Homo-oligomer: A and B are copies of this chain.
Amino acid sequence: DRVVRAARGSALTARSWQTEAALRMLMNNLDPEVAEKPSELVVYGGIGRAARNWACYDGIVSALTALESDQTLLVQSGKPVGVFRTHENAPRVLIANSNLVPHWANWERFNELDRAGLMMYGQMTAGSWIYIGSQGIVQGTYETFVEMARQSYGGSLRGRWILTGGLGGMSGAQPLAAVMAGASMLAVECEPGRIAKRLETGYLDRSTNSLDQALEWIDAACKADRPVSVGLLGNAAEIFPELLRRGIRPDAVTDQTSAHDPLNGYLPAGWSLDHAAHMRVTDPSAVERAAKDSMRLQVEAMIAFHRMGVPTFDYGNNIRQMAFEVGCADAFAFPGFVPAYIRPLFCRGIGPFRWAALSGDPEDIYRTDARVKALLPHDTHLHHWLDMAREKIMFQGLPARICWVGLGDRHRLGLAFNEMVARGELKAPIVIGRDHLDSGSVASPNRETEAMQDGSDAVSDWPLLNALLNTASGATWVSLHHGGGVGMGFSQHAGMVIVADGTDEAAERLGRVLWNDPATGVMRHADAGYEIARDCARETGLTLPMLTEN
């Protein structure tokens, strides 16, 4: 097995910090501390890969190493396919992953093309080289739980507990986020290795394979008001209905198994891991069917909790759609987390902004943390987050930080980091990016664009414009993906990453990109009729021709 780890320090292995950044972030995605299955190039989210195969990985590395500052590398589903002359203000890498013409955009066709060596599943930040481990998702989940608490429990989760499934790449962030938000958590996970990994990294407090034991711990924690997270080895499709049968009432219910990928992401009820592994090879369609049938059992239990008045939401894994496809007519009875809790943030361009220290030195991140606090002195919520993150979150791979900030703040932070690099306050440049799950970068009717006010859920012009504009504005790399999060056919989304290398040219690009990128989100939500977004557009002086004129 090859072990990949990004270079550290301030010496270049490529010809510029732009390409060095792409190299280190690609490698960082495959760092065993970061990736779920590095030997198969799988970073997270089912089979989300950083490169199509090892030959393509090597090809990308040598192309990036040789790339000049007026050249651009094209990557097609994880394969380096061409190097072209562009210019200094153009991106160094342009990426398109997993895109299929709509009529053929399903897992069956994708898997065929994947097996034929013609495609790769890029998920969101796996194939676009800006996954930073579980931390990336901790804050999103934390913000979601906090907002849920605000809406349902008067702002406090004291003595309460949340039921969920999955302790994988992103789902593994749930227990930590719950505890940070003040709640206990019961997380059902079928792979012992995943539970072990979360215990190791401190994201999970305890584990057991006994439901009774788990419930006892949770009960005690709630009574003592000392939140605990428990990983239960089991199958969510069995445990969720069992809790219901026992008349047990969680205070909130969600799920983050990899339901978006019924072939590889969800263990059918009653199956052993070995049996599933065998069947995936010998009879893939039987696996898909069995997985969806099991998801239906789980979703039916979730609907029952929802009907009992328990806050229940889909956490973006498309499990409702899968259950719906095998006959669960009410699958969409409970909402997705975006319309329930996240959309008001998107209306102001707020989303999962993140950055990593290319030096590899945690001190660089701590210095940026301090700078963020200084630049946003009145955002106590953000200060609290930064303190907790520093205390509770172990870095995985290159040290990185995430915080949800929006239009008007992102470019200020980016420019400030660039100044810090220029003044030598940091040991190496900073790379700045975000998830594809963001305000202006995604169309995904079962998740980010569920239930849009004007009914434009399925219109994907918006993420395409976002990618084109980021390219035109000079991001360092830009990506266009299909099928992330919710699976083939269900989403189109765009990524962007930009390097703050301390130069004046970078400052120009940062000023444009980190303004324009969240601004497309405000634009998209203003166009859909959201007043918060229209107000934000007015306050920030955006030019939105058909709205300005009215």
Contacts and interface: CB of A to CB of B under 8 A. Distances in A.
Contact of A119 (B104, B109, B459, B465): B459
Given A74-B469, A84-B516, A86-B512, A458 B543 contact: no
Contacts of A97: 461
Secondary structure of the A contact surface, majority rule: mixed
Given A99-B460, A99-B464, A99-B492, A118 B87 contact: no
Interface in A498-548: 508, 512, 515-516, 519-520, 523, 527, 542-546
B84 A545 contact: no
B85 A516 contact: yes
Contacts of A508: 87
A472 B118 contact: no
B523 A82 contact: yes
A56 interface: yes
Contacts of A471: 468, 471-472
B519 A99 contact: no
A506 to B, nearest CB: 13
Interface stretch (A129-137, A180-188, A287-295, A473-481): A473-481
A104 B544 contact: no
A167 B60 CA distance: 49
B464 A480 contact: yes
A359 interface: no
Most buried by B among A83, A459, A462, A472: A472
Contacts of A77: 459, 461
Contacts of A516: 84-86
B87 A512 contact: yes
Given A101-B490, A491-B101, A546-B59, A109 B458 contact: yes
A103 interface: yes
A396 interface: no
A434 interface: no
Nearest to A523: B82
Contacts of A520: 74, 82
A14 to B, nearest CB: 15
A77 B489 CA distance: 21
A116 B445 contact: no
Contact of A103 (B89, B456, B489, B512): B489
28 contacts: A59-B549, A74-B520, A74-B523, A76-B459, A80-B545, A82-B545, A84-B469, A84-B519, A84-B543, A86-B512, A86-B516, A91-B468, A94-B465, A94-B468, A96-B460, A96-B464, A96-B468, A98-B461, A101-B444, A101-B459, A102-B482, A102-B489, A102-B492, A103-B105, A113-B459, A118-B454, A468-B468, A468-B471
Interface of A: 55-56, 59-60, 62-63, 72-74, 76-77, 79-87, 89-91, 94, 96-105, 109, 113, 116, 118-119, 443-445, 454-462, 464-465, 467-469, 471-474, 478, 480, 482, 488-492, 508, 512, 515-516, 519-520, 523, 527, 542-546, 549
